[in-house]
Structure 1
C-alpha cells in the first residue's frame, strides 16, 4: 500500500513539473548559425534559460552533433539539430523567436561593403523561409553589418508580404552591456545596477551612449568628461579583435544576445515589462532604422520609447552619425532590391 502511494506521488510530481514547465515557459527558439563561435556560446546560454522549452540549432554542418552534446545538459529544454538549407524549414517550425548569428564576423579593417557582400546573400536566403514557416516569429539579427543587414532583411520580408516592423530587431545589446561595464568601473558600483540608453546604430561611429541619462548618475561637467568613454565604447570591439584575433568579441556578444532573447521571451509571456535597446524600423529621426530603448510585449515592440533629452554635445554627435547611418540603410535596401 505504502509503495503504491509513493509511486502515485512520484508520478504526480513528474506530471506537475511537466505541467509547470509547459505553462510558465512554452517558447521555441531557433538559432541560425548555431555552430559558429558566437552561436555555440549563445546556444549554451539559451539551453540554460528556463524560458526556453525547445531549442532548434541550425547550421550548414555539425549542428546535429552539437545538439546531441547539448541534450545531455541537465535543463528542461529539448534540443534539436538541423543541417543544410533544405532542413531549415524544420528548424524554424513553430519558432517564437529566431536568432540569426550566421555569417562572417566584422574583423578589424573590414569594410561595410565587404561584409554586406559576404553576408547579404545569406540573409536573403534565410528570410523567405522565415516568412513562410514562422511569419509571426520575433527575429533578432546579429549578423554584420547590422546597420545595412536589418533594412535588407526588412526588404526581403516585404517581398513575401511578411514584414512586421514590431517583430524585426537588430541586436545592439552588447553596446549597452559594455557601456554598463565601463560606467560601473568609473562609478565603482555593481554593473547590474547601471542603466544607460545606447542609441543610433551598431557601427563604431554610429554608437551613441546617452551618458546624461545614466543611472546612477554619471557626473558630466562638459563633453570632455563624456568623450573618452564614448570613444572607449566605440573602439571596444576593435580592441578585442587586436588582442584576440579574428575570432573577435564572441563571448560578450553571445552573453548580450542571450540577454536580449530572454527579454523577448519575457515580453511574449507578458512578464516583467522588459525594456531593451535595439535597432529597428523607426520614425524618431530622419533615419528609417534607428536604435532606441523599446518596451517589449506580446507582439514584439509594445512601445518605442524614443530618444531621451540630449545635452548639446550629445545632440551634435547624433547629427554627426545620421548621414552615415542613412548611407548604410540605403546600401542594405539597394542590395536587397538588386538581388
Structure 2
C-alpha cells in the first residue's frame, strides 16, 4: 500500500544490502522471494547451513534490480559484511503440542551463534529477529552484542508483525470487512498471553465480551491453528514470511529517510524498564538510525490493562531466560 505522505527524496538514491540467515527454510525461502521484490533491496545475501546457493540461484531469476547470492557456512562472514539489514528466521519449527518456549533450547544456540557473526561482521546493521521464542531470542542477541561492545538498542528488533496481520484478518472475519482497512495495534510480546491486541483503540471496541475474548484468544494462539493443520509438517511459514518482509521493508523505508514509518516491534523499550522489563512490543517510529520513537500504549480499557499486566509477568521470565542463557553459554 502506498503511503503518499512520506518523503521519497532519499529512497531513490539509496541501495541496501539485506542478508537472510536461514534462507533455505520454510520461512526463509518465501521471505527471500518477497525481499527480491522490494525495490530498495539491491544486494540480497542468502545464508543457510545447506541449500542457500540453490535458493539464491532460483530467486536470482526474478527480474528486479538486485543481485542475489547464496552462501554456505564457511562464507557466513562474506554474507554479512556490508549488510544494512539482517533478517533471522533460522531455527526449528514448532510441532503439534509445542509452545514457542519449547523451541528455546535448540533455537537459543542457533541465534547466539548467528548474533556473534553479526556482531563481528556487520555491527551497524539493523537486526530483525524472527526465530522463536522471540521474547527470549531478542535478549540473546542483545547480550551477545553487549559482550562484543557493539550493542545499539535502536538497531535490534523482534518481528511481531504476524500478530498484527492476524489481528487484522481475524477482526475482518467477524466484522465482515476488508482486512486491508483494519488497523489493530498489538503490544506486549510474541507468544501466547504476552500478545495483547488493543481492540479498544480500533473500530471494534464495542464487541460483546464473549466475541471479544474469543477473538483475543485466537490472535494470541493463531499459530496453533497452522501447526495443527500442517499435522507435524511445520508451523506458520508463508504468513510469517509476509510479516517478515513487511517489517524489513518498513525498516528500509525508515533507513532511507521516509517519514511516518510506524510498526509495532519487540524492542529495547523505556516503557516498563522501571518494572524490570527491558524489552516490550509497542508502536515504533522507524528512522535513519533505526528506532526513532517508542510510542506509549495510549488509553487502554480495564480489560486490556489486565492483559498487559499478565503479559508483563510472563515477559520478565522470558527475557531473563535469554539473558541467563548467554551468561551460562557464552
Range of TM-score over shorter length: over 0.9
**Aligned position for 2:265:** 278
Judge conservation of contact 2:282–2:297 (CA < 8 Å) in 1: yes
Q: Which residue of 2 aligns with 1:124?
A: 112
Q: Does structure 1 retain, via aligned residues, the 8 Å contact 2:16–2:43?
A: yes
Task: Tell me which structure has the larger Cα radius of gyration.
Answer: 1
Alignment correspondent of 1:261: 248
Q: CA deviation at 1:225?
A: 4.2
How many angstroms apart in 2 are the aligned matches of 1:181 and 1:36?
25
Paired residue secondary structure (2:104): helix
Q: Deviations over 1:75-100 (max 9, x none)?
A: 1111011001x311100011000000
Q: Contact (CA 8 Å) 1:223, 1:313: kept in 2 or not?
A: no
What is the root-mean-square deviation in Å for CA atoms of aligned residues?
A: 1.7
- From 222, 227, 244, the equivalent of 1:241 is 227
Pair 1:77-2:66 in alignment: yes
Q: Could you tell me which residue of structure 2 aligns to residue 335 of structure 1?
A: 325
Matched, 1:184 2:162: no
2:34 paired residue number: 45
In structure 1, the residue matched to 2:281 is: 291
* Distance (Å, rounded) in 2 between the aligned partners of 1:92 and 1:310: 41
Structure 1 residues 101, 190: CA separation in 2 closer, same or farther (over 3 Å shift)?
Answer: same
1:144 and 2:144 aligned: no
Asked whether the equivalents of residues 206 and 325 of structure 1 are also in contact (C-alpha less than 8 Å), the reply is yes
Looking at structure 2, the residues matched to 219 and 311 of structure 1 have their Cα atoms a distance apart, in angstroms, of: 9
CA deviations on 1:264-285 (whole Å, 9 max, x unpaired) are 0000001142100111111212
Who is 1:32 aligned against?
21
The structural deviation recorded for 1:52 is: 0.7
**Which structure has the higher relative contact order (CA within 8 Å, separation 6+)?**
2
User: How many angstroms does 1:187 deviate by?
Assistant: 2.5
Q: Which residue of 203, 215, 218 maps to 1:229?
A: 215
Determine if contact 2:168/2:182 at 8 Å carries over to the other structure. yes
- Deviation at residue 170 of structure 1 after TM alignment: 0.5
Q: CA deviation at 1:228?
A: 1.3
Q: How many residues align?
A: 317
Partner of 1:94: 82
Provide TM-score, normalisation by structure 1: 0.90
Q: 1:158 aligns with which of 146, 153, 158?
A: 146
* CA contact 1:70–1:79 (8 Å) conserved in 2: yes
Query: Where does residue 8 of structure 1 map in the other structure?
Result: none
1:280 aligned counterpart, secondary structure: strand
How far residue 113 of structure 1 moved from its aligned partner, in angstroms, is 5.2
The change in CA–CA distance for 1:113 and 1:195 in structure 2 (over 3 A counts) is: closer
Task: Tell me, in whole angstroms, the C-alpha distance in 2 between the residues paired with 1:170 and 1:108.
Answer: 24
| 2:259–2:287 CA contact under 8 A, matched in 1 | no
- Three-state SS of the structure 2 residue aligned to 1:54 is strand
**Equivalent in the alignment of 1:306:** 296
